[in-house]
Amino acid sequence: MGIKKGQVVQLSIESTAFKGKGVARYEGQAVFIPNTAPGDVVEARIIKKKKKYLEAKVLTTIKPSSLRQQPVCSHANVCGGCTWQHIPYEEQLKFKEQHVRDLIERIAGLPADIVKPIIGCENDLYYRNKMEYSFGTRRWLTEKEIRSDEYVDDEAFAAGLHAPGRYDKILNLKECHLQDKISFRILDFVRNYCVTNNIPAFDTYHKKGFIRHLVVRNSYYTGDLMVNIVTFEDQPDIMEILAGSLINEFPEITTIVNNINDQHNPTATGRYENILFGPGYITDRIGRHTFKIDANAFFQTNTKQAEVLYNVARLYCDGTKNRHLFDLYCGVGTLSLYMADAFDKVTGIELVDIAIQNARYNSKENNVHNVDFVLGDMKDTFNDKFLVDCGQPDCIITDPPRSGMHPDVVEQLSKLEVPRLVYVSCNPSTMARDLLTLKNFYDIKEIQPVDMFPQTYHIEAVAKCNRKK
C-alpha cells in the first residue's frame, strides 16, 4: 500500500539537504526532516507526501548523532533564524561546501571539482549587522503547549521572529544570538514598553493595530546604532515618547526612524519615513570606503565577511584589461566602490531608487569619481541602447537577488562578448540554473563558496567565468 501521511516511522539521518533539513530514506524515497543531524536515529511522523519525496517531523530522537552539540539558544529547534545550532560550525562548513558541489553538478551539469574549499566566518555568533523583528497578536505555542490536552490561548502580544512557514504566528523571543547583544535588549524593551502602555501590535487578520516591526542596524566599524520602528499608522505623539524612552535606556543609539507601512503587505519597508532622532542613517566601512546606510537600503548583513567575499570577486576580475566594469544589481555601491581603483570606469545598475541615491552619495563622500550609477530594472535597462550609452565593458560582476537573474539578463550576457564574468550569488541553486545557460558561452573556471551566515543553511558563492574563444 505504500507509506501514508500521518504514518510514524523510524528513520536514520544520512546527510543534509540544501535548506538545512536532514535526509533519510524510507522504502526507496527521500525523506526530509528538520532539526536533525547526520547519524541521528529518530521516530518521525510523515507530514507531507510528494511524488518524489516525503517530509517528516521528529517525534522522538532514539539515538542522537555523535555530531550533535547543545545549541546556544533555547529557541534553536523552533526558530527560523537558526537551523543548525545543534551542529558544530566546522561540520556546518563541510555540509555547505558539499551542497554547492551537488548543485553545480546536478543543476549546472558542471564538474563538482571546480568548487574550491569553503571560506569560513571568523565569528559564528553575533555576526549580523541587521535584525528585523516582527510584532503580532498571535504567538507560536511551545511544544509542551501544542501537546497539552488542555486548550491553550495563542492570542497575546508577541515580538520576535515569524515561526517557520507562518506569516501570522510570532515566536515570542526570549533571547537571540545573531546580532550584537544590545539588539535583543532593545527588542525586549520595546515589547515591555508596548505592553505596559497598551500599544497594540498589528493584527494580520483584521488589518488593524499599531506596531509592526522593529529593525535594529549596527555598524561594525563606526559604532553607529539605528532603531527603525515600523508602524501601521503615523502617530507622532506615541513615537516621540517611545523614542525618548529608548534614548534614555540605550545611549548607544545614534538614530531612530519611524517607517509607516499603512498598506496590507507584510514588509518592514514604510510608504514614508519620519526621523525621530539623529541623522536618519548610519555609516559603516567595507575596505577603505565609508557607506551611508538608510533604514531601507540594502547593505551586506555580515560586514566583516563581506570584505572576504569582495576580495574573492576582486581576485576573479584580475587578468582582464580593467578598463570598464559593469556591476549589475549594485545596491548602495559597496562592490562598485571596492572595485573602483582596479578599473578606469565602473558602471553600477540597480532597481531601488534609495539604493542608487545612497550609492551616488557614497561615491561622492569617498571621492571616487570614476563610478557612475544607473537606476533601472535589470531586465529592461540592460539592453543594446544601454551599451551604446555607457560603452562596452571588459568585465562584468553580477550579484543578483536570491531568485537569480531574469532570463532576459542571462540572454543579454550570453550575447555580449565580455572577456570575464564574475557571478556573486547568495543562492547557489539559482546560480547553477543560470550557469547552465552561460556555460555555452563561458568557461566556468572555478567557484568559491564563502560562508556569510553561520548557524543557517545559507551560503554565498562566487563563480569565475571566462568567455569562450
The 3-state DSSP class for residue 265 equals coil
Nearest to 12 by CA among 2, 26, 1: 26
The residue type found at 205 is Y
Asked if 361 and 351 count as a contact pair (C-beta separation under 8 A), the reply is no
Which is the catalytic residue, given 176, 330, 426, 465?
426
Length of the chain equals: 469
At 83, list the grid cell. 537551523
Taking the C-alpha atoms of 141, 146, 149 and 153 in order, what is their torsion angle to the nearest 10 degrees?
20
Q: How far apart are CA 417 and CA 186, in angstroms?
A: 51
Establish whether 317 is a catalytic residue.
no
The residue type found at 446 is E
At 277, list the grid cell. 532622532
Q: How far apart are CA 108 and CA 410, in angstroms?
A: 14
Q: How far apart are CA 85 and CA 347, in angstroms?
A: 40
Beta strand segments in 181-239, E: 211-218, 225-231
DSSP assignment letter at 216: E
Q: How far apart are CA 331 and CA 371, in angstroms?
A: 13
Q: How far apart are CA 465 and CA 66, in angstroms?
A: 40
Strand order in the sheet with 255-260: 170-172, 155-162, 130-138, 211-218, 225-231, 255-260, 272-277
DSSP for 109-158, written as a single string: ---GGGBPPPB--S-SSS-BSEEEEEEEEEBPPPHHHHH-SS----EEEE
Which H/E stretch holds residue 95?
Answer: helix 89-106
Task: Tell me the C-alpha to C-alpha distance, in Å, between residue 201 and each of 5, 130, 437.
Answer: 36, 21, 47
Report the catalytic residues: 426
